[in-house]
Amino acid sequence: MKNRPLFGVYGMSYRLNRGFQGVGRKLILDSISFEIARGEVIALLGPNGSGKSTLMKLGAGVLPFRSLSCTGQVRYLGQDFLSVSAEYRARNVVYVASDVRSEFLLTAQEVVFLGRTSARRGWMQGTSQSDAEAVRRAMDRCSCWDLRDRNLSYLSGGERQLVALACALAQGAKVLFLDEIMSQMDIHHQATIGRLLKDLAKEGFAILLVSHDLNLASEWADSIIFLKEGKKIFHGPVLMAFQQETMDLLYPHSNLKVGLNPLTGAPKVFFGQDT
Amino acid sequence: MVRTKATSAYLFGISIWILSFLFALKVGIVKDANLELITAVRLPRAILASALGVGLAVSGAALQALFSNPLCEPYTLGISSGSALGAVLGASLGLQWNLAGLTGTSFLGAILFAAILYGVSLRRGSGNGTLLLTGVMLGFFGNSLVATWIALSDSNGLQGALVWLFGDLSRARLKSSILTFVGVWVFVFFIWTHRRALDALLLGEEGASSLGVDVAYIRQRIVLLTSLLIGVCVSAGGIIGFVGLVVPHFCRRFVGPLHGVLIPLCAIWGAVLLTLADLMSRILIQPYELPVGVVTALMGAPIFLWLILRRGEIS
CATH (domain of A72): 3.40.50.300
Q: Which of A85, A95, A114 lies at the smallest CB-CB distance from B199? A: A114
Chain B residue closest to A64 (CA)?
B125
Q: Which of B3-12, B83-92, B160-169 has the highest mean pLDDT?
A: B3-12
Mean per-residue pLDDT of chain A = 86
* A95, A56 contact by CB (below 8 A): yes
- Would you state the pLDDT for residue A146? 92
Question: Cβ atoms within 10 A of the Cβ of A105, count?
Answer: 18
Query: Per-residue pLDDT for A136 more than 50?
Result: yes
B18: helix, strand or coil? helix
Maximum Cα–Cα distance across chain A? 69
Summarize the confidence of residues B165-178 as an average pLDDT. 82
A193 exposure class (CB count in 10 Å sphere: 0-12, 13-18, 19+): buried
- CATH code of the domain containing B37: 1.10.3470.10
Q: How far is CA A253 from CA A66, A247, A249, A272, in A?
A: 38, 10, 9, 11
Can you give the pLDDT at residue B107? 83
What residues make up the domain containing B12?
2-311
Looking at residue B271, its pLDDT comes to 95
pLDDT digits (tens, 9 = 90+) for A180-209: 888 888 999 999 999 999 999 999 999 999
Phi/psi at B153 (nearest 5 deg)?
A: -90, 160
Residue B314: per-residue pLDDT: 47
Q: With 60 as the cut, is the pLDDT of residue B100 above it?
A: no
Question: With contact defined as beta carbons under 8 Å apart, do A244 and A77 qualify?
Answer: no
Rounded mean pLDDT of chain B?
A: 84
Other Cβ atoms within 10 Å of A48 Cβ, number: 6
- Look at chain A and report how many structural domains it folds into: 1
Among A3-12, A71-80, B147-156, which is the least confidently predicted range?
B147-156
In this predicted structure, the answer to whether residue A161 has a pLDDT above a threshold of 90 is yes
B210 touches chain A (CB under 8 A): yes
pLDDT surpassing 80 at residue B29: no
- Percent of chain B, pLDDT > 90? 27
Nearest chain B Cα distance for residue A61, angstroms? 8
Among A11-20, A84-93, A138-147, B111-120, name the one with the lowest average pLDDT: A11-20
In this prediction, residues A207-232 reach a mean pLDDT of 89
Domain that holds residue A26: 5-271
- The share of chain A scoring above pLDDT 70, in percent, equals 93
Question: pLDDT for B57-81, tens place per residue?
Answer: 999 999 999 888 888 888 888 888 8
Radius of gyration of chain A (CA): 19
CB–CB contact A102 B204 (8 Å): yes
Confirm or reject contact between B263 and chain A (CB < 8 A).
no
* pLDDT value of residue A129: 83
Chain A residues 44-73 with a CB less than 8 Å from chain B:
57, 60-64, 67-68
Cβ of residue B212 closer than 8 Å to a chain A Cβ: yes
B201: nearest CA partner in chain A: A102
Are A230 and A29 spatial neighbours (Cβ–Cβ below 8 Å)?
Answer: yes
Distances (CA, A) of B182 to B47, B101, B177, B266: 10, 13, 9, 16
d(CA B97, CA A22) in angstroms, rounded, equals 53
Cis omega (within 30 of 0) for bond into B287: yes
**Residue B69: count of CB within 10 angstroms of its CB:** 14
Contacts of A61 in chain B (CB under 8 A): 209
**B200, B210, B217 ranked by CB distance to A62: nearest:** B210
What is the count of residue pairs from A and B with beta carbons less than 8 Å apart?
85
Task: State the pLDDT at residue A255.
Answer: 84
Query: Average pLDDT for residues A134-139, to the nearest whole number?
Result: 92
What are the pLDDT digits (tens) for A18-72? Answer: 655 555 667 888 889 999 999 999 999 988 888 899 899 998 888 887 777 788 8
* A79: β partners: A76
Q: Which of A32-36, A168-172, B119-123 has the lowest mean pLDDT?
A: B119-123
Q: DSSP H helical segments within chain B, as ranges? A: 2-26, 35-37, 43-66, 79-93, 104-122, 128-152, 158-165, 174-193, 195-201, 204-210, 215-237, 243-255, 259-283, 292-311
What is the pLDDT at residue B52? 93
* Per-residue model confidence as pLDDT tens digits over B219-276: 889 988 998 898 888 888 888 888 888 899 889 888 889 999 999 999 999 999 999 9
Amino acid A1: pLDDT: 39
Instruction: Verify whether the Cβ–Cβ distance B212 to A90 is below 8 Å.
Output: yes
Question: What sign has the CA pseudo-torsion B189, B195, B197, B199?
Answer: positive
Tell whether A200 lies on the interface with B, counting CB pairs under 8 A: no
B215 within 8 A of B209, measured Cβ to Cβ: yes
State whether A107 and B125 contact (CB < 8 Å): no
Rounded CA separation B174/B176 (Å): 6
The pLDDT tens digits for A118-129 are 887 766 666 778
Residue B109 pLDDT class (50, 70, 90 cuts)? confident
Do residues A12 and A31 lie in contact, with contact meaning Cβ atoms separated by under 8 Å? yes
Residues B186-215: tens digit of each pLDDT: 999 999 999 999 999 999 888 999 999 998
Task: Give me the mean pLDDT over the A7-14 stretch.
Answer: 90
B 126-185 residues with CB < 8 A to A: none
**Count of domains for chain B:** 1
| Percent of chain A whose predicted confidence (pLDDT) is above 90 | 36
Residues B217, B215: Cα–Cα separation, whole Å: 5
